[in-house]
Chain A
Amino acid sequence: MVQNYKPVQPIWCPGCGDFGVLAAVKRAAAGLSIPTHEFVLVGGIGCSGSIHNFMEVNGIHALHGRLLAQAVGVKLANPSLTVVAAGGDGDGYAIGMGHFIHAFKKNVSILYIVMNNETYGLTKGQASPTSEIGFEGNVESPFMSILTALSIPAPNFIARAFSGDPKGMTAILTEALKFNREGRGFAFVEDLSPCVTYNDMYKLWREKVLDVSTLEGYDPTDRKAMFRLCLETTESGRIPIGVMHRPKVAGRDGLEVKLVGDGPGPVRADIGLETNRAAYQKLLAGLS
């Protein structure tokens, strides 16, 4: 083995919800026997975005809000890689919102994990897009990512997990990674990840989370039913968790499949001049 990058100790506060995500990602990846050199973790900016520093995998630390665009680029360039983008709620739902919405639409087979703590922890506790009204003087309505995700008619995998339920989270991430690796498209998992320093919600969230699969009428292939179920659950004061959407038909709908198919893709294509000379000459000879 070549002497290589060594993961460092997490910078997170003891008890941070992000530890749960790190552990679940490791377990899910190990469970699926994904080779570490084919695993790419794209980190955003904020406490959660440093997750790639703590694993023995390929990592790229993106700009604030831009991790999805970079992750999409990685996957489309080399579809044989397993690509996970991970960041916080500010990264994904504030500065990165444009890319967030478009990620569903693009449906590239990558997994996006948003560690939602409803605050900007690293900059010391300001309100975030998901903060409740009243938190740190917040007067804006909180953003509800699952409802937004369900509103985009694309064959995505959509789920919400809770750091206080590591087993449930591992199951969800495992399904999401399998979904990606089968080329089925974009997987979005929001994890409720309490910030023990600025917004410690462990106790409250543990009381409020509700596994939607236990509810009557639960059908994750029915977008309309799930939207209603999630909205009603939220309005009743509970927090819906579980798998919110998976496409009815298990097709290889990932954008990388549509663009590259079973071809090598941009990275593994032979770009040598000699290999391509005849085709290049034909292309140039076609000009008039």
Chain B
Amino acid sequence: MSPAAAQIAPLPEQSGSGSPRPPLELNDVSVMIGGQGGDGTLTVSDLLGRYFRKKGLYVYTSRNVLSRIRGGHADASIRASQDPIAAVKSQVDVLVAFDNEAVEMGKTELASHGFIIYDSTTFHIAEPHSAGFPFATMVGGPLGQPIFKNTAAYGALSVLFGLDPAQTRAVIEERFKRRGGEALDKNLKALEIGRKAALAMPGVENRYSIASGDAHNMILTTGNQAVALGFVVGGGRFFAGYPITPATEILENVQRYLPAFGGVVRQAEDELAAINMIIGASYAGARVMTSTSGPGLALMTEGMSHAGTAEIPVVIADCQRVGPSTGQPTRHEQSDLSHLANLGHGEFPRFILAPADPVDCFDLTVDALNLAERWRLPVILLLDQALSQNTATSPRFDLSKVRVDRGKRLTPEAAAKLAQYKVYEFSSDGVSPYAPPGTPGLWAEVTGNEHDEWGHVSVNPSNRLHMMKKRMEKLVHARSELPPCRFYGPPSAKIGLIGFGSTSGPILEAQRLLEHRGTPTRYLQARTVFPVPVHEIDPFLKEVDVAYVIEHNYTGQFARLLRETMPWHHAKLRSILKYDGLTFRAPQIVAEVKGVA
């Protein structure tokens, strides 16, 4: 079996005939690998990622999967860069296709210098810059199974990128060493089959070269993993959740890490149970969390109202996906913000923190646990699909900023010295000291009914006023303790950018592109999105002529919150919105900023 003929067109920068074509050097490369679910596209991405990380590059990977277990089109994208990145690249440099659908979907994003490597076992394409290899039959004969075609494709890619053969092999050994034996052996053989075929194919070898970087001693992680780790080191010891995309990995990771620390993790029968189990555990005195996404959040809303009025600390991680209803479970959106800011029947205070990257996820999860217990209210960690599930090269998580602040929690010794104990005692900051059940000499009487300071059910109008103020004014008292905004770009810039969550990745990249084109901007990354940090955003808006609020939803939910809290800035605020289920690519933001400015 000979490989199908490659259809090679000259690279734009190729000059003269006879002289060897120099490789095109890429310091920011993106590869998309597409095929049917089960084709092993993720493995190719994983192998490339391991190689690129050995070269000190920053890696960012994303997946495009359907909500089904097997089959259907699936693709994996990997980007590697010398610079820190947290976004999908706007163009694909190399497309690896295991089926024709992958070609059709990927070629629209292919760069003009791009190249397609495809499995020509069942189809052929007539694209100018492409090479077909019958990977499935090439490996199927000697190895007995076509499933190693993905590793053969990795071999062909290693030739295309001029990767070091020994390192390429080391990556396979690293990846399959745990499975060992036959799996490792056959993958190494598949690698060589792919490499040889690619070396024999004109126009493939060393078509590109990949730069090296200095991103060493870093980790490849996701927001969901970071939240789980933040929960453990922040002293979280009770977790209940219900599986839901894209939040499930928080539950899975906590299940993996927490039992070693004496914690308890439960998969509940539904989200109603999950939120109420953590309410019970928090009442008992544990640090607690649950995680969910839109539909589960809707069910948890009842429990969060209860926690709000009963003043029980809970942390809820909401990993946003496309809604409403089942929406697009595997796709990206930031459309739960309005619901969260207003959620619940009746009125109660809550904080919403929005991390932008894995380190932020780790740090803000610890903050969320402290703030929930310090202020005795629900705290929401607002993630989004890309932040939750995409992997990114990240600095190692650091314990130096971790602290455990239990607020006005009473020890048994302190409780024993009290003359009286009122579970809802009025205080200057609205927070009452708390002694959980089991404290000798005391009873914790906690209720979702309106109550007096002792916990007695009360319909007294004057008491109601005091209790409402006690709870609601926490939003004012806590302001200076909430995670501050981050600012990027020169303070003199007159164009403002505002965003939260993983949108920070493409925004920061857009900011660099704009800077190169002579348009300086200043970016405000909101890390507390509710209560709106007016004390930080108002001065920012005063200094700029215009501010683009960049978010993934239809109605401009954060922009609306800003207008509601700072109506005097109404005219300065403009929205850049995306709600097609995909994340922003930096040039899309650049185009909108340039178009209006």
Give the interface of A toward B (CB within 8 A): 1-6, 8, 35-38, 40, 42, 50, 52-53, 56-63, 65-66, 69-78, 80-81, 98-99, 101-102, 259-260, 263-267, 269, 271-273, 276-277, 279-281, 283-284, 287-288
Contacts and interface: CB of A to CB of B under 8 A. Distances in A.
A95 to B, nearest CB: 10
A38 B423 CA distance: 16
B449 interface: yes
B35 to A, nearest CB: 27
A279 B232 CA distance: 11
B445 A58 contact: yes
A48 B52 CA distance: 64
B283 A277 contact: no
Contacts of A265: 262, 264
Contacts, number: 226
B404 interface: yes
B568 interface: no
17 contacts: A37-B441, A56-B443, A57-B443, A63-B303, A66-B273, A66-B302, A73-B282, A76-B238, A76-B266, A76-B277, A77-B281, A78-B437, A81-B438, A265-B262, A271-B287, A280-B233, A284-B229
B476 to A, nearest CB: 28
A287 B220 CA distance: 8
Interface in B271-305: 272-274, 276-288, 302-303
B1 interface: no
Contacts of B449: 61
A280 B269 contact: no
Contact of B442 (A4, A81, A266): A4
Contacts of B220: 288
Interface string B398-436: 010011100000000001101111010000000000001
Interface in B535-564: none
Given A74-B280, A267-B285, A279-B260, A36 B272 contact: no
- List 8 A-B pairs, minimum CB-CB distance, nearest first: A73-B280, A271-B235, A69-B276, A266-B237, A70-B280, A77-B281, A3-B420, A61-B447
Interface stretch (B69-77, B190-198, B450-458): B450-458
Chain B: number of interface residues, binned into ranges? 35 or more
B404 A73 contact: no
Given A52-B445, A59-B447, 19 more contacts: A2-B416, A2-B418, A6-B454, A8-B457, A36-B443, A37-B438, A37-B439, A42-B280, A61-B446, A65-B272, A69-B280, A72-B277, A76-B281, A265-B264, A266-B237, A269-B263, A273-B235, A276-B261, A277-B399
Contacts of A260: 262, 264
Contacts of A60: 280, 283, 310, 444-447
B415 A2 contact: yes
B261 A269 contact: yes
B59 to A, nearest CB: 12
A59 B283 CA distance: 10
A78 B457 CA distance: 26
A55 to B, nearest CB: 9
A102 B240 CA distance: 14
A66 B455 CA distance: 20
